[in-house]
C-alpha cells in the first residue's frame, strides 16, 4: 500500500451555515455567516453569495463586526487565530495568533478598552482583547450573552444563570429548582440581555421565558415568567431599541413579545423547521432566523419572509442513497422532512426542494411522520421513484413515481401506489435500458420483489400513462435484501440471504442462483463496460466476484464491506470497508482482485452513502493512483453527515491558481479606486473655481 | 413563511359498478314525487293514448293521475271491497277493474259510476283485461277459473277451469283478438284460444306466477314468479329461453322499456332491475324504500311509477335538457361592464406581465387543522362523505386523534360509532379505523351502560366484528383449498444448473407465478 500524496480528502460544499448566529451589517445589506472553514457573505435582498472569505484552517466558531469600523468583521476559529476581514471586498486584513484551540465566540464591547485580561471561575473563561472585542470560550456553556454597555456577561448552564460584572469583577449565581422532574424541564436553554434596561431574558426547556431584574445582588433579585412555547425555547433576542423580545423554538414560529406588555404578542408561523438563533439588524428592520435544517431566513418588517438562504440540509440521517441527477448534475438526497433536495455541488447551493410527502409537517417531538426512505432516478433523469414510510403502529408505505416535466422543469407526481408491499422496502432500482420502457424493481422484507412497469393507456381514454405491477417474484420465501441491474438491463440480480438469484427481466425467468456461504449478502453490484460479465457481492465478511459466463466464483477476499459502488463511466468499483472505527477505501477492477488505489483510515465511522458524480470534462491526470478519478468524482457522507470528496493534485493546483487570480483582480480593483479617489481630490483642490456642473461630469466620468 | 399544506384527500379507485351508457340513461331522472295512497298499490296501468294518464289501483279505489299531476285527476270509488287490476282499453276510453267481492266493473273514463258489472265469479277477481278488438273482457279469479265476457250485453262468453290454484295474472294478445295467457299459483302458464274450449299451450314456471308480459312482437312471453323471471319462446311451442335469478325475494311486476330494448322487473326485495333484452344482463338497478308490488313505465321511459306495500306511489320523471339548463341560467350574470373591464388592453411586446399571487383557499376543516382545533376539524369533516377518512388519518399522524375523539356527548359519539361501523370492514380503512375504535373504547369504557343508544351501537360493532372474523376464517379456508388445487395443477420442474458442474447439484425448484 502506497501513501498517495497526490490525492487528498477534503470538505467540498454543504457545510453548516447555521453553526453560529449570522451577523447583519450596519446597513442591513449583507449577511455574514460561518460556513465550515470559510465565511460567507450573502446579500440580504437577492440571497446571493457575494464573497467566500477563505483563510481559516479549521472550523470558524465566532463572528463579530469590528466596533470601530463597521465595514470589517472579526472571526475566530478552532485553529487558534482571530482574523480581521474587509467583507465588502473580501480581503483578509490582519491575523492574530492566540494559541488557544477551544470552541469560542466573539462579542463586541463599546468603548475603547485596550487592556487584555482573563478570568476563570467555575466553568467560565473570559478573555478581553484589544480592538474592543471579547473572546469567549464557550466550551462548557449552553448559551451566553453580553450586555450592550459591556457591563456584564450573562451565561447559562443547566439550571444555573451566572452574571459576571466586568468592571466590578463580581460574579453572581442564580439557580432554579434542581430537584426531581422539574430540574430537567427547568434547565436554561438560552439567554439575552436587554440593550437599555438591566434585564436578562432566559429561555427554558419547558417553553417558559423568564425576565430577570435587579440581579446585581444575590438576594433580592426578581423574575417574571411568560409562557407560550410548548417545547424548549431555543433562541431569544431583543430588538435594538429594546421594545420587543423575539423568541423561537421547535415549533418554528417566531414569537414577538412587547417588552413591558408581555400579554401582547405577534406570531410568524410555519418558518419550516425549528429556530436555532435569532438576530436583528442594527436598525431593527431585518430579522434573521437560523434554523436547524441549515437555513437562514431573512424577515423584513417583522412580517414578511424576504429571503431564504439554504445550505445542504443535514437531517437526522440520510436514508436514501446519494444520487446524481443526470439533468442538473445535482446531488439528490433527503432534505427537509418529507422532501428530496437537489444540491448543486459545483455552485455549493441548493437548487430546489421536491415535496414528496405533501403533508403539513408538524413540528413536535416524538411524532411519527412520513419520511422519504428510498429514492431512485432512472438513467436519463426522466423518472424518479420515491418510497415514503411511517412506522407508527403498522408500517405505512407508499411508492410514488414522478415524471420529469419539461415545461415546468421539475418532477410531477404521476402514480401513487399505497401499500406496495407488506413490509418495509429495502431497495428500489430502475432498469438502465434506454428504450421507452423502463422497469422499476422494489425489494421488500415481506419476502417478495416486485417489478413495476409503465403501462400506456388506450388512446381512447384521456388518462395519462401510469405505473402498474408487472411481476412478483420470490425465492423459497427468503427475505430479499438488495437488487441490481446489469449495465445493459438484460439481467437482474436479487439477493435472498446467502443466495444471489439472477433473473431475466424480459421473461421473468429465474436464470441461475449463485451462493458463497457463509453470511448473508449485504450489497450487490454488476461490473461495467469490459467487466460487465462480473457480478460482485459483499457479505459481512467476504467480497465475492462471480463470472456470469461460467456461473462460477472468480475470486473472493475477506473484507468487511459496508458499501459497494460502481463508477458508471469506467470499470472501477469502490468498496468502503468498515474496520473497527475507521473506514478504508479500495478501488479496483472486477477483473483483477488487486486494488489500484487504497486509502486506509479515510474517516471515522462507517461510510454507507457515497456516489460517483460524473465530471463535466474528464481530467487528464496520468498518475496511476489518481487515474480512477479522471472520469468522475467520488463523494461520500461520513456518519456525522459531513460530505467529503477526493481532490487530486492537478485539480488543487488549478483551484489555487484560480483563487490567486481572484485576489490579484481584487487588489487591482482596490488600487484603481484608490488612485481615482486621489485624482479626484487633487482635481477638486486645484480647480476649486470650476463650476459645480463640471465637477459633476468629472464624477460621472470617473464612476463610469 | 410557507403556506399551509392542505390535507390530501386520497382518491380511491371506484369499486363496483362501472359507468355505462345505461347507468347514465337510467340515472337521468329527477328526484321522485311520492304520493301516499290508502293501501298497498297492486296495479299501475298507463293509458295507451297521449297524454298517457295512468290508473293506480290501491285499496278500494282506482285513481287516475295525469302525467305531471300530484293529485288524482279522476277517482273511481264504487267498490265494495279491495279493487284489483285497473286497466285501460286500447283507445283509453274504458277502464276495467276486478274486486275482492268477485264482481268485475267497467267504467267510462269520463264517468263516475260503473257502466257494466260482470257477475259470475265466486271469489276475488285479481285479473281483468280487454281483448285486442276491445269488445270483450278477460278475467281471472281465485275460484281457479278464467272467463271471457262480452261488453255490449255483459254476458259471459266462455269459462275455462283448467288451473288448479288462484289465477293472479293474465294478459291478452294485442295482435290476435282470441289469444290470451294466464298465470296461476299452480306454477303454470297457459295460452288459451277463445275459438277452442281448452288451453292450447302449457308452460311450467316452477313457482307461483305473479306477473306476465308479452313482447310487442308477441314471439316471447316473460313470466315472473318466486325469485325467477323466465322468458319463453312461443314460436317454439313454449320452450324456456332464459331464466333470470337476480332478485332475492319474489318478483311481483314486469315491464318493458326503451321500445322493448330493456326489461324491468320489480320485487319485494325493494329493487327494480333493468335487463338488456339482447343478453339478459342486469344493466341498472333502482333501490326503493319498501317492497314493490307494481311497476309502470310511461312510453319513451318518460316516467317510472312504482307502487309499494306501504301505500306509497313513487313517480320519477325523466330530466329534460331544459331542466338542467334552467338551473344554470338562474345564476345572475355579471354586468357587461365588468366583462369588458381591462380586457381591451393588449400588452405590448416589451411589457413584463406580473402575475397575481394565487390566493390559497382552504377548506373549513383545513382551516381548523391549521389552528390545531382538532375536535372541530373532525366534526367539520364528518359532514362530507369522502373526507372523514383523510382527516382521521391526518389526525392520527399528528397524534391528536385521541384528543379529537374525547369529550363527545351521546349524539356525537353515536355518530362516530356508526361511522366506524359503516367503514370498518373496508380493507382500505381498516388499519386506521381499528385504532380509532380502540381509542373510542379506551376513552368511553367508563360510560358504558349509561346510554342505551351508545350501547346499541357498541353491540352492533361487536356483531360486526364477530361476523367479520367468521368471514375471514372462511376465506382462509377457501384460500387453502385453492392452494391445494394450484399445487396439484403445477407439475414439478427439474432444473439442472449448468454452472455447478463441479458439484453436479440438481436443484428442485417450485415456481409460483402470481397473477
Tell whether A504 lies on the interface with B, counting CB pairs under 8 A.
no
Considering all CA atoms of chain A, what is the largest pairwise distance in Å, rounded to the nearest integer?
101
- Which of B44, B54, B96 is CA-nearest to residue B252? B44
Q: With a cut of 0.85, is the ipTM above it?
A: no
Distances (CA, A) of B147 to A665, B77, B136, B157, B187: 120, 24, 10, 7, 19
**Range list of H helices, B35-129:** none
* Candidate from A137-141, A644-648, B356-360 with smallest mean pLDDT: A137-141
Q: Per residue in A193-234, pLDDT tens?
A: 898 888 899 998 888 999 988 887 777 888 889 999 988 899
Residues present in chain B in total:
515
Q: Which of B392, B397, B437, B503 to mutate to test the interface with A (most CBs of A within 10 A)?
A: B397
Taking residue A496's Cβ as centre, other Cβ atoms within 10 Å add up to 24
Residue B514: predicted pLDDT? 37
Residue B61 has pLDDT above 70, yes or no: yes
Residue A347: predicted pLDDT? 78
Cα separation, B275 vs A573, whole angstroms = 68
The shortest C-alpha distance from B14 to chain A (Å) reads: 15
Tell whether A266 lies on the interface with B, counting CB pairs under 8 A.
no
Cα separation, A584 vs A578, whole angstroms = 6
CB within 8 Å: A393 and B435? yes
- Minimal Cα distance from A362: which residue of B? B398
Residue A621 has pLDDT above 90, yes or no: no
Cα separation, A380 vs A383, whole angstroms = 8
Residue A66: predicted pLDDT? 83
CB within 8 Å: B8 and A358? yes
Q: Supply B96's cell numbers.
A: 276495467
Give the three-state DSSP class for A210: strand
Q: Which of B2, B397, B507 lies closest to A369 in CB terms?
A: B397
Residue-wise DSSP of B237-305: TSEEEEEE---SS-EEEEEEEGGGTEEEEEETTSEEEEEETTT--EEEEEE-SS-EEEEEE-GGG-EEE
CA A144 to centroid of chain Cα atoms: 25
Mean pLDDT of chain B: 85
Torsion of CA A656, A661, A665, A666, to 10 degrees: 0
Residue B385: predicted pLDDT? 64
The shortest C-alpha distance from A597 to chain B (Å) reads: 32
Residues of B with CB under 8 A from a CB of A: 1-5, 7-8, 10, 369-370, 394, 396-399, 431, 435, 497-500, 502, 507, 509, 511-512, 514
CB within 8 Å: B3 and A512? no
Give the three-state DSSP class for B403: helix
Burial grade of B419 (CB within 10 A; 0-12, 13-18, 19 or more): middle
Q: Does the predicted TM-score (pTM) go above 0.80? A: no
Residue A673 has pLDDT above 80, yes or no: no
The shortest C-alpha distance from B266 to chain A (Å) reads: 35
Secondary structure tally for chain B: helices H, strands E: 10, 30
Q: What is the mean pLDDT of residues B319-325?
A: 73
CB within 8 Å: B397 and A359? yes
Residue A17 has pLDDT above 50, yes or no: yes
Q: Supply A276's cell numbers.
A: 436555532
CB within 8 Å: B397 and A271? no
* Candidate from A360-374, B329-343, B347-361 with smallest mean pLDDT: B329-343
Q: Supply B369's cell numbers.
A: 387543522
Q: pLDDT category, A116, cuts 50, 70, 90?
A: very low
Residue B264: predicted pLDDT? 93
The span from the first CA to the last CA of chain B, in angstroms, equals: 49
Residue A677: predicted pLDDT? 64
Which of A510-519, A618-627, A679-688 tops mean pLDDT? A510-519
In this prediction, what percent of chain B has a pLDDT beyond 90? Answer: 36
Looking at beta carbons, which residues of chain A come within 8 Å of B433?
Answer: none
Residue A668 has pLDDT above 80, yes or no: no
Tell whether A356 lies on the interface with B, counting CB pairs under 8 A.
no
CB within 8 Å: A359 and B2? no
Q: pLDDT category, B328, cuts 50, 70, 90?
A: low
CB within 8 Å: A510 and B509? yes
Buried b (16+ CB within 10 A) or exposed e, B329-344: eeeeeeeeeeeeeeee
CB within 8 Å: B2 and A270? yes
CB within 8 Å: A305 and B1? yes
Tell whether A300 lies on the interface with B, counting CB pairs under 8 A.
no
Q: Supply B471's cell numbers.
A: 368471514
Instruction: Please compute, for residue B368, the number of CA atoms within 13 A of its CA located in the half-sphere on the CB side.
Output: 16
- Which of A647, A698, A683, A582 is CA-nearest to residue A4? A647
Q: Supply B435's cell numbers.
A: 385504532
CB within 8 Å: A270 and B1? yes
Tell whether A620 lies on the interface with B, counting CB pairs under 8 A.
no
CB within 8 Å: B2 and A358? no
Residue A670 has pLDDT above 80, yes or no: no
Cα separation, A590 vs A572, whole angstroms = 8
Residue B512: predicted pLDDT? 38
* Candidate from A8-12, A449-453, A490-494, A585-589 with smallest mean pLDDT: A8-12
Residue A120 has pLDDT above 50, yes or no: no
Residue B473 has pLDDT above 90, yes or no: yes
CB within 8 Å: B507 and A513? yes
Residue B170: predicted pLDDT? 92
Secondary structure tally for chain A: helices H, strands E: 3, 56
Mean pLDDT of chain A: 82
The answer to whether A246 and A254 are in contact (CB under 8 A) is yes
- Strands in A419-458 per DSSP E: 425-430, 439-444, 449-455
* Candidate from A138-152, A459-473, B436-450 with smallest mean pLDDT: A138-152
Residue B276 has pLDDT above 80, yes or no: yes
Query: Helices B410-423 and B452-489: crossing angle, nearest 10°?
Result: 10
| DSSP bridge partners of B193 | B179
Residue B477: predicted pLDDT? 95
Residue A5: predicted pLDDT? 55
Q: Per residue in B115-138, pLDDT tens?
A: 989 988 999 999 999 998 889 999
Tell whether A364 lies on the interface with B, counting CB pairs under 8 A.
yes
Residue B332 has pLDDT above 80, yes or no: no
Residue A165 has pLDDT above 50, yes or no: yes
- Minimal Cα distance from B372: which residue of A? A362
Residue B96: predicted pLDDT? 93
Residue B470 has pLDDT above 90, yes or no: yes
The span from the first CA to the last CA of chain A, in angstroms, equals: 60
Q: Which of B431, B502, B512 lies closest to A394 in CB terms?
A: B431
Q: Per residue in A37-70, pLDDT tens?
A: 889 999 998 888 888 888 888 888 888 888 788 8
CA A508 to centroid of chain Cα atoms: 42
Q: Supply A672's cell numbers.
A: 484603481
Residue A134: predicted pLDDT? 64
Q: Which of B10, B499, B511 lies closest to A550 in CB terms?
A: B499
- Which of B38, B84, B40 is CA-nearest to residue B310? B40
- Which of B230, B220, B294, B292 is CA-nearest to residue B260? B220
Buried b (16+ CB within 10 A) or exposed e, A370-379: bbbbbbbbbb
Kindly list the strands in the beta sheet with B83-88, ordered across the sheet, starting from the edge strand earlier in the chain: B83-88, B94-99, B104-108, B114-118
- Tabulate helix, strand, coil % of chain B (nearest 5): 25, 35, 40
- Which of B155, B190, B149, B184 is CA-nearest to residue B169? B184
The shortest C-alpha distance from A540 to chain B (Å) reads: 24
| DSSP bridge partners of A461 | none
Residue-wise DSSP of A479-522: PEEEEEE-TTSS-EEEEETTEEEEEETTTTEEEEEEE--SS-EE
Give the three-state DSSP class for B428: coil
Residue A679 has pLDDT above 50, yes or no: yes
Residue A128 has pLDDT above 60, yes or no: no
- Which of A139, A138, A624 is CA-nearest to residue A153? A138
Looking at beta carbons, which residues of chain A come within 8 Å of B3?
Answer: 270
Q: What is the mean pLDDT of residues A642-667?
A: 76
Residue A540: predicted pLDDT? 81
Q: Which of A358, A362, A551 lies closest to B498 in CB terms?
A: A551
CA B474 to centroid of chain Cα atoms: 30
CB within 8 Å: B397 and A268? no
Q: Which of A269, A369, A512 lies closest to B497 in CB terms?
A: A512
- Minimal Cα distance from A271: which residue of B? B1
Q: Which of A358, A359, A447, A504 to mutate to test the interface with B (most CBs of B within 10 A)?
A: A359
Residue B224: predicted pLDDT? 93
CB within 8 Å: A369 and B394? no
Residue A117 has pLDDT above 50, yes or no: no
Burial grade of A185 (CB within 10 A; 0-12, 13-18, 19 or more): middle
Q: Supply B257's cell numbers.
A: 322499456
Considering all CA atoms of chain B, what is the largest pairwise distance in Å, rounded to the nearest integer?
110
Q: Per residue in B212-233, pLDDT tens?
A: 999 988 889 999 999 999 999 9
Cα separation, A652 vs A650, whole angstroms = 5
Q: Supply A121's cell numbers.
A: 471561575
Q: Which of A270, A305, A418 lies closest to B4 in CB terms?
A: A270
Q: Which of B1, B2, B427, B433 to mutate to test the interface with A (most CBs of A within 10 A)?
A: B1
Residue B306: predicted pLDDT? 93
Residue A115: predicted pLDDT? 44
Looking at beta carbons, which residues of chain A come within 8 Å of B398?
Answer: 362, 364, 367
- Which of A643, A31, A642 is CA-nearest to residue A295? A31
Residue A494 has pLDDT above 90, yes or no: yes
Taking residue A235's Cβ as centre, other Cβ atoms within 10 Å add up to 24
User: Which comes out higher in pLDDT, residue B491 or A683?
Assistant: B491
Cα separation, A23 vs A306, whole angstroms = 17
| DSSP bridge partners of B318 | B29
The answer to whether A7 and A647 are in contact (CB under 8 A) is yes
Q: Supply A541's cell numbers.
A: 465478511
In this prediction, what percent of chain A has a pLDDT beyond 90? Answer: 14
Residue A245: predicted pLDDT? 92
CB within 8 Å: A270 and B3? yes
Residue A135: predicted pLDDT? 62
Q: What is the mean pLDDT of residues A149-167?
A: 80
The shortest C-alpha distance from B441 to chain A (Å) reads: 17
Residue B505 has pLDDT above 60, yes or no: no
Q: Per residue in A502-540, pLDDT tens?
A: 999 888 889 999 887 778 888 899 988 888 889 999 988
Element (H, E) at B382: helix B374-382
Residue A121: predicted pLDDT? 45
Torsion of CA A243, A249, A251, A252, to 10 degrees: 70
Q: Supply A421's cell numbers.
A: 408491499
User: Which comes out higher in pLDDT, residue A594 or A441?
Assistant: A441
CB within 8 Å: A472 and B514? yes
Residue B507 has pLDDT above 50, yes or no: no
Query: A with B: how many residue pairs have Cβ under 8 Å apart?
Result: 61
Residue A118: predicted pLDDT? 45
CB within 8 Å: B499 and A551? yes
The answer to whether A274 and A251 are in contact (CB under 8 A) is yes
The answer to whether A330 and A342 are in contact (CB under 8 A) is yes
Cα separation, B141 vs A689, whole angstroms = 134
Residue B210 has pLDDT above 50, yes or no: yes
Q: Per residue in A404-440, pLDDT tens?
A: 998 888 899 988 998 899 889 999 999 887 666 788 9
Amino acid at each position: 500500500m502506497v501513501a498517495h500524496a497526490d490525492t487528498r480528502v477534503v470538505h467540498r460544499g454543504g457545510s453548516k451555515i447555521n453553526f453560529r448566529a449570522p451577523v447583519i451589517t450596519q446597513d442591513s445589506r449583507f449577511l455574514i455567516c460561518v460556513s465550515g472553514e470559510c465565511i460567507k457573505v450573502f446579500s440580504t435582498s437577492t440571497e446571493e453569495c457575494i464573497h467566500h472569505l477563505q483563510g481559516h484552517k479549521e472550523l470558524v466558531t465566532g463572528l463579530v463586526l469590528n466596533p470601530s469600523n463597521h465595514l470589517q468583521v472579526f472571526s475566530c476559529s478552532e485553529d487558534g487565530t482571530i482574523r480581521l476581514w474587509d467583507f465588502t471586498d473580501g480581503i483578509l486584513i490582519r491575523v492574530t495568533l492566540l494559541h488557544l484551540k477551544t470552541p469560542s465566540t466573539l462579542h463586541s464591547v463599546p468603548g475603547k478598552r485596550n487592556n487584555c485580561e482573563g478570568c476563570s471561575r467555575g466553568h467560565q473563561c473570559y478573555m478581553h482583547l484589544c480592538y474592543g472585542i471579547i473572546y469567549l470560550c464557550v466550551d462548557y456553556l449552553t448559551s451566553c450573552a453580553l450586555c450592550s454597555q459591556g457591563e456584564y456577561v450573562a451565561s447559562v448552564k443547566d439550571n444555573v444563570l451566572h452574571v459576571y460584572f466586568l468592571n466590578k469583577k463580581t460574579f453572581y449565581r442564580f439557580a432554579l429548582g434542581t430537584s426531581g422532574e422539574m430540574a430537567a424541564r427547568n434547565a436554561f436553554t438560552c439567554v439575552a440581555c436587554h440593550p437599555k434596561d438591566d434585564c436578562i431574558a432566559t429561555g427554558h426547556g419547558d417553553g417558559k421565558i423568564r425576565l430577570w431584574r435587579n440581579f446585581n445582588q444575590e438576594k433580592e433579585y426578581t423574575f417574571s415568567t411568560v409562557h407560550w412555547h410548548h417545547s424548549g425555547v431555543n433562541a431569544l433576542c431583543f430588538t435594538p431599541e429594546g421594545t420587543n423580545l423575539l423568541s423561537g423554538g421547535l415549533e418554528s414560529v417566531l414569537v414577538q413579545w412587547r417588552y413591558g406588555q408581555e400579554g401582547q404578542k405577534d406570531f410568524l408561523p410555519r418558518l419550516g423547521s425549528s429556530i436555532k438563533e435569532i438576530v436583528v439588524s442594527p436598525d431593527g428592520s431585518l430579522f434573521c432566523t437560523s434554523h436547524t435544517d441549515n437555513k437562514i431566513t431573512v424577515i423584513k418588517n417583522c412580517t414578511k419572509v424576504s429571503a431564504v438562504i439554504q445550505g445542504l440540509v443535514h437531517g437526522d440521517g440520510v436514508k436514501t442513497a446519494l444520487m446524481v441527477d443526470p439533468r442538473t448534475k445535482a446531488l439528490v438526497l433527503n432534505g427537509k422532512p418529507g422532501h428530496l433536495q437537489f444540491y448543486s455541488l459545483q455552485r455549493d447551493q441548493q437548487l430546489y426542494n421536491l415535496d414528496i410527502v405533501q403533508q403539513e409537517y408538524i413540528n413536535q417531538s416524538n411524532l411519527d411522520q412520513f419520511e422519504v426512505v428510498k429514492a431512485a432516478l432512472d438513467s436519463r433523469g426522466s423518472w424518479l421513484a420515491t418510497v415514503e414510510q411511517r412506522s407508527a403502529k403498522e408500517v405505512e408505505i407508499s411508492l410514488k413515481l414522478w415524471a420529469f416535466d419539461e415545461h415546468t422543469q421539475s418532477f410531477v407526481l404521476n402514480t401513487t401506489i399505497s401499500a406496495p408491499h407488506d413490509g418495509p422496502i429495502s431497495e428500489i432500482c430502475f432498469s438502465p435500458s434506454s428504450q421507452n420502457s423502463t422497469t422499476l424493481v422494489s425489494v421488500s422484507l415481506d419476502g417478495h420483489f416486485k417489478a413495476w412497469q409503465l403501462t400506456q393507456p388506450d388512446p381512447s381514454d384521456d388518462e395519462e400513462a401510469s405505473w402498474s405491477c408487472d411481476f412478483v417474484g420470490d425465492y423459497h420465501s427468503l427475505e430479499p435484501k438488495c437488487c441490481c441491474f446489469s449495465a445493459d438491463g438484460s439481467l437482474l440480480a436479487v439477493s435472498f440471504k446467502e443466495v444471489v438469484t439472477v433473473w431475466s427481466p424480459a421473461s421473468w425467468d429465474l436464470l441461475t442462483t449463485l451462493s458463497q456461504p457463509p453470511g448473508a449478502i449485504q450489497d450487490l453490484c454488476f461490473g461495467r463496460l469490459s467487466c460487465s460479465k462480473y457480478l460482485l457481492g459483499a457479505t459481512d465478511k467476504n467480497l465475492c466476484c462471480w463470472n456470469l459466463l461460467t456461473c462460477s466464483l472468480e475470486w473472493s477476499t475477506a473484507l468487511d464491506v459496508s458499501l459497494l459502488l460502481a463508477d458508471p463511466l469506467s470499470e472501477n468499483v469502490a468498496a468502503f470497508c468498515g474496520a473497527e472505527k475507521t473506514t478504508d477505501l479500495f478501488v479496483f477492477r472486477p477483473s483483477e482482485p488487486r486494488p489500484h488505489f487504497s486509502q486506509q483510515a479515510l474517516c471515522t465511522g462507517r461510510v454507507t452513502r457515497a456516489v460517483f458524480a460524473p465530471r463535466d470534462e474528464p481530467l487528464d491526470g496520468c498518475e496511476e493512483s489518481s487515474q480512477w478519478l479522471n472520469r468522475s468524482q467520488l463523494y461520500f457522507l461520513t456518519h456525522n453527515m459531513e460530505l467529503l470528496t477526493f481532490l487530486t493534485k492537478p485539480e488543487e493546483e488549478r483551484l489555487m491558481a484560480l483563487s490567486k487570480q481572484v485576489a490579484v483582480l481584487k487588489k487591482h480593483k482596490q488600487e484603481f479606486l484608490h488612485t481615482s479617489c486621489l485624482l479626484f481630490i487633487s482635481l477638486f483642490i486645484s480647480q476649486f473655481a470650476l463650476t459645480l456642473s463640471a465637477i459633476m461630469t468629472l464624477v460621472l466620468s470617473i464612476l463610469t | 413563511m410557507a403556506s399551509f399544506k392542505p390535507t390530501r384527500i386520497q382518491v380511491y379507485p371506484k369499486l363496483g359498478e362501472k359507468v355505462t351508457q345505461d347507468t347514465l340513461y337510467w340515472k337521468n331522472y329527477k328526484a321522485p314525487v311520492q304520493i301516499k295512497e290508502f293501501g298497498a298499490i297492486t296495479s299501475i296501468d298507463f293509458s295507451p293514448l297521449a297524454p298517457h294518464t295512468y290508473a293506480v289501483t290501491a285499496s278500494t279505489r282506482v285513481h287516475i293521475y295525469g302525467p305531471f299531476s300530484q293529485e288524482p285527476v279522476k277517482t273511481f270509488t264504487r267498490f265494495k271491497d279491495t279493487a284489483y287490476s285497473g286497466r285501460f282499453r286500447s283507445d283509453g276510453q274504458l277502464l276495467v277493474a276486478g274486486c275482492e267481492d268477485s264482481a268485475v266493473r267497467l267504467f267510462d273514463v269520463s264517468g263516475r259510476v260503473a257502466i257494466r258489472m260482470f257477475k259470475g265469479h265466486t271469489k276475488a277477481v285479481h285479473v281483468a283485461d280487454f281483448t285486442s278488438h276491445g269488445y270483450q273482457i278477460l278475467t281471472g279469479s281465485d275460484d281457479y277459473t278464467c272467463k271471457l265476457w262480452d261488453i255490449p250485453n255483459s254476458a259471459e262468453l266462455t269459462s275455462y277451469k283448467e288451473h288448479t290454484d288462484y289465477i293472479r295474472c293474465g294478459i291478452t294478445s294485442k295482435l290476435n283478438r282470441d289469444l290470451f295467457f294466464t298465470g296461476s299459483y299452480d306454477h303454470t302458464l297457459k295460452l288459451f284460444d277463445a275459438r277452442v274450449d281448452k288451453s292450447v299451450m302449457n308452460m311450467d314456471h316452477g313457482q307461483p306466477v305473479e306477473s306476465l308480459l308479452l313482447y310487442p312482437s308477441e314471439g316471447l312471453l316473460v313470466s315472473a314468479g318466486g325469485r325467477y323471471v323466465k322468458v319463453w319462446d312461443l314460436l317454439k311451442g313454449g320452450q324456456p329461453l332464459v331464466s333470470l335469478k337476480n332478485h332475492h325475494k319474489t318478483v311481483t311486476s314486469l315491464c318493458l322499456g326503451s321500445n322493448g330494448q330493456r326489461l324491468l322487473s320489480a320485487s319485494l326485495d325493494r329493487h327494480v332491475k333493468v335487463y338488456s333484452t339482447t343478453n339478459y344482463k342486469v344493466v341498472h338497478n333502482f333501490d326503493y324504500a319498501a317492497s314493490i308490488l307494481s311497476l309502470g313505465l310511461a312510453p319513451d321511459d318518460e316516467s317510472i311509477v312504482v307502487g309499494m306495500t306501504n301505500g306509497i306511489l313513487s313517480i320519477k320523471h325523466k330530466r329534460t335538457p331544459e331542466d338542467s339548463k334552467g338551473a344554470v341560467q338562474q345564476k345572475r350574470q355579471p354586468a357587461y361592464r365588468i366583462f369588458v373591464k381591462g380586457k381591451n388592453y393588449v400588452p405590448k411586446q416589451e411589457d413584463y406581465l406580473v402575475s397575481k399571487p394565487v390566493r390559497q383557499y382552504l377548506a373549513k376543516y383545513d382551516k381548523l387543522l391549521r389552528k390545531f382545533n382538532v375536535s372541530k376539524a373532525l366534526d367539520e369533516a364528518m359532514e362530507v362523505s369522502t373526507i372523514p377518512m383523510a382527516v382521521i388519518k391526518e389526525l392520527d399522524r399528528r397524534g391528536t386523534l385521541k384528543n379529537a375523539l374525547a369529550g363527545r356527548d351521546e349524539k356525537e359519539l353515536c355518530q362516530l360509532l356508526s361511522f366506524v361501523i359503516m367503514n370498518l370492514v373496508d380493507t382500505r380503512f381498516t388499519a386506521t379505523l381499528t385504532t380509532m375504535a380502540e381509542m373510542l373504547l379506551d376513552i368511553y369504557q367508563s360510560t358504558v351502560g349509561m346510554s342505551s343508544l351508545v350501547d346499541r351501537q357498541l353491540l352492533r360493532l361487536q356483531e360486526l366484528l364477530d361476523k367479520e372474523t367468521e368471514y375471514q376464517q372462511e376465506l382462509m379456508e377457501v384460500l387453502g383449498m385453492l392452494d391445494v388445487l394450484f399445487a396439484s395443477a403445477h407439475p414439478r420442474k427439474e432444473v439442472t444448473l449448468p454452472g455447478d458442474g463441479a458439484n453436479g447439484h440438481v436443484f428442485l425448484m417450485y415456481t409460483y407465478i402470481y397473477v
